[in-house]
């Protein structure tokens, strides 16, 4: 729910409540004062009637004044609300009456003075309508003002939101927010700035740490590797010892590959580290296929190339080589025996497809770090992550599809 809706809701529900209470209070106050007024009038009418009775000039004027002669006088004056037929068959009307007794020259008179309450009801009703109309109008006006003003008031807030959306901790740029004249938003901005700076600096130090660690680890790996290889040269090794050395070397080389891949991934964060040149893609692809010919043959794969010879790309040669090598070696590794590799380079699109097993998971997962589909122990699961990163670097789109027994990696180059 929007803030303004929420505020308006609270505002309206409370306004209506207050309005009901005020109306009720007002109703009773006004009714009370009208009654008081009526009673006073009845009193004065009665008094006037007595005077006229004394001079004998008065007659009954039903229903407003009724005079009758009674045997016993009463001292009680009684105010009362009654319903009276003014004209026959027209229904009753409400009246307030004052019954009083007076003794004039030995005759007991009972005087009833009445005032119609019809007007009082009308008055209250119109009062109520007026109130309702004014409160409705007020709310309506407030509603529109709210809507208009909220856009203005929340502008700073939405500005900040937009800045946050585009903010990336990786880019190394500072978060920039506009100053707000509203204290709450300014407070929010200050906190966000603080938070983003802290996050950035922590991210930086973590990154530096990981990069340093990657570098530092290279030398010990190199030493261990050289010692194991030296050990391999000793003449009196048993077959068992050689096999142990072989396993150790294989795993060391895996560690080496993981480390190297992470180094590259870290480096890929910085686009400006790479110098670009025009690269003929079909040349690159053919070179890679030649490099991997024995791997292709040992699985008895058939390769079919359909390459646009003229298509070239402005990018870093080594990175494009890594990208294509990763995709091609992927197509070899995850192929079946006697399978097929098809490479199709059209304008702005490269499709590398290979026959293979149906994927066990969503193919998007292939690009995740350390994802491994098969039980292949040699691959470390970073090749496609690197491929994706390189694509990101050059605004290329990369996706994977599987259909009819074929994996397809589709690369779309920016126009």
Partner 1 sequence: MKILIIEDEIELVRSIIGFVGSDNYMFNYAFNYSDAVDKIGLYEYDCALVDLMLPDGSGLDLVKKLKKIQPKCGIIIITAKNTLDDKLTGLDLGADDYITKPFHLAELNSRIKSVIRRRNFEGNSEIVLNEVFINTEKREVKVNKKIVELTRREFDILLFLISNKERVLTKESIVEHVWADDSNAFDNFDFVYTHIKNLRKKLIEKGSRDYINSVYGIGYKFSLK
- Tell me how far CA of residue 367 lies from CA of 180, 189, 211, 363, 396, in angstroms: 42, 36, 21, 8, 14
Query: Based on CB atoms, which residue is closest to partner 1, 81 or 218?
Result: 218
Position among 222, 277, 369, 372 found at the interface with partner 1 (CB under 8 A): 222
Rounded Cα distance between 285 and 307, Å, is 9
Rounded Cα distance between 252 and 178, Å, is 52
Work out how close the CB of 232 gets to partner 1 at its nearest, in angstroms, rounded to a whole number.
5
- Tell me how far CA of residue 161 lies from CA of 21, 177, 182, 198, 316, in angstroms: 41, 9, 15, 19, 36
Contact 292/258 with Cβ under 8 angstroms? no
Contact 412/349 with Cβ under 8 angstroms? yes
With binding defined as CB under 8 A, does residue 314 bind partner 1? no
Residues 373-392 interacting with partner 1 (rule: CB under 8 A): 376-380, 383
Query: Based on CB atoms, which residue is closest to partner 1, 198 or 215?
Result: 215
With binding defined as CB under 8 A, does residue 299 bind partner 1? yes
Phi, psi of 404 (to 5 degrees): 50, 45
Q: Is 33 exposed, middle or buried (0-12, 13-18, 19+ CB in 10 A)?
A: exposed
Find how far residue 104's CA is from the centre of its chain.
88
Query: Based on CB atoms, which residue is closest to partner 1, 153 or 237?
Result: 237
Position among 76, 87, 273, 415 found at the interface with partner 1 (CB under 8 A): 273
Rounded Cα distance between 53 and 104, Å, is 8
Window 182-221: contact mask with partner 1 (x via CB under 8 A): ---------------------------------x--xx-x
With binding defined as CB under 8 A, does residue 347 bind partner 1? no
Work out how close the CB of 169 gets to partner 1 at its nearest, in angstroms, rounded to a whole number.
24
Q: Strand 340-346 to strand 302-307: parallel, antiparallel, or no bridges (unpaired)?
A: parallel
- How many residues bind partner 1 (CB under 8 A)? The answer is 48
With binding defined as CB under 8 A, does residue 233 bind partner 1? yes
With binding defined as CB under 8 A, does residue 394 bind partner 1? no
Residue of 224, 219, 223 lying closest to 251 (CA atoms): 224
Window 27-46: contact mask with partner 1 (x via CB under 8 A): --------------------
With binding defined as CB under 8 A, does residue 345 bind partner 1? no
Query: Based on CB atoms, which residue is closest to partner 1, 57 or 239?
Result: 239
Work out how close the CB of 230 gets to partner 1 at its nearest, in angstroms, rounded to a whole number.
5
Instruction: Tally Cβ neighbours within 10 Å of residue 331.
Output: 26
Q: 3-class secondary structure for 116-182?
A: ECHHHHHHHHHHHHHHHHHHHHHHHHHHHHHHHHHHHHCHHHHHHHHHHHHCCCCCCCCCCCCCCCC
Query: Based on CB atoms, which residue is closest to partner 1, 225 or 286?
Result: 225
Work out how close the CB of 231 gets to partner 1 at its nearest, in angstroms, rounded to a whole number.
10
Work out how close the CB of 234 gets to partner 1 at its nearest, in angstroms, rounded to a whole number.
9
| Beta bridge partners of residue 92, listed in sequence order | 85
Work out how close the CB of 150 gets to partner 1 at its nearest, in angstroms, rounded to a whole number.
54
Instruction: Choose the stretch contacting partner 1; rule: CB under 8 A; options: 75-83, 120-128, 153-161, 225-233.
Output: 225-233
Sequence-distant (≥ 6) Cβ neighbours of residue 344 within 8 angstroms:
306, 307, 350, 351, 352, 353
Work out how close the CB of 256 gets to partner 1 at its nearest, in angstroms, rounded to a whole number.
6
Residues 117-176 interacting with partner 1 (rule: CB under 8 A): none
Interaction site with partner 1 (CB under 8 A): 215, 218-219, 221-223, 225-227, 229-230, 232-233, 239, 242-243, 245-246, 249-250, 253, 256-257, 260, 263-264, 267, 273-274, 291-292, 294-295, 297-299, 318, 322, 325, 329, 332-333, 376-380, 383
């Amino acid at each position: 729910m929007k803030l303004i809706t929420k505020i308006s809701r609270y505002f309206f529900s409370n306004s209506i409540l207050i309005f009901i209470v005020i109306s009720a209070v007002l109703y009773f106050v006004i009714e009370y004062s009208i009654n008081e007024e009526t009673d006073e009038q009845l009193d004065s009418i009665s008094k006037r009637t007595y005077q006229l009775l004394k001079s004998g000039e008065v007659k009954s004027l039903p229903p407003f004044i009724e005079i009758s002669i009674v045997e016993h006088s009463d001292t009680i004056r009684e105010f009362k609300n009654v319903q009276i037929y003014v004209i026959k068959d027209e229904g009753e009307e409400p009246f307030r009456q004052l019954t009083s007794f007076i003794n004039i020259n030995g005759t007991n008179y009972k005087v009833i003075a009445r005032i119609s309450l019809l007007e009082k009801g009308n008055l209250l009703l119109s009062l109520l309508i007026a109130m309702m109309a004014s409160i409705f109008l007020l709310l309506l006006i407030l509603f529109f003002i709210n809507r208009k003003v909220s856009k203005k008031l929340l502008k700073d807030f939405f500005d900040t939101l937009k800045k946050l959306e585009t903010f990336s901790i990786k880019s190394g740029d500072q978060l920039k927010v506009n100053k707000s004249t509203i204290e709450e938003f300014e407070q929010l901005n200050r906190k966000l700035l603080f938070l983003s700076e802290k996050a950035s600096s922590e991210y930086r130090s973590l990154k530096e740490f990981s990069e340093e660690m990657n570098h530092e680890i290279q030398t010990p790996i190199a030493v261990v590797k050289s010692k194991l290889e030296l050990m391999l040269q000793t003449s009196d090794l048993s077959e068992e010892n050689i096999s142990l050395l072989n396993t150790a070397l294989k795993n060391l080389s895996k560690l080496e590959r993981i480390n190297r891949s992470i180094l590259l991934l870290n480096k890929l964060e910085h686009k400006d580290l790479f110098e670009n040149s025009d690269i003929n893609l079909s040349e690159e692809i053919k070179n890679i296929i030649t490099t991997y010919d024995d791997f292709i043959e040992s699985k008895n794969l058939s390769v079919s190339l359909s390459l646009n010879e003229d298509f070239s790309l402005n990018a870093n040669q080594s990175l494009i080589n890594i990208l294509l090598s990763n995709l091609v070696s992927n197509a070899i590794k995850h192929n079946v025996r006697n399978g097929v590799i098809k490479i199709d380079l059209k304008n702005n699109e490269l499709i590398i497809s290979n026959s293979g097993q149906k994927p066990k998971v969503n193919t998007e997962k292939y690009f995740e770090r350390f994802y491994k589909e098969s039980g292949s122990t040699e691959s470390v699961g970073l090749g496609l992550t690197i491929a994706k990163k390189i694509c990101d670097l050059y605004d290329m789109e990369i996706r994977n599809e599987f259909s009819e027994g074929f994996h397809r990696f589709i690369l779309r180059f920016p126009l």
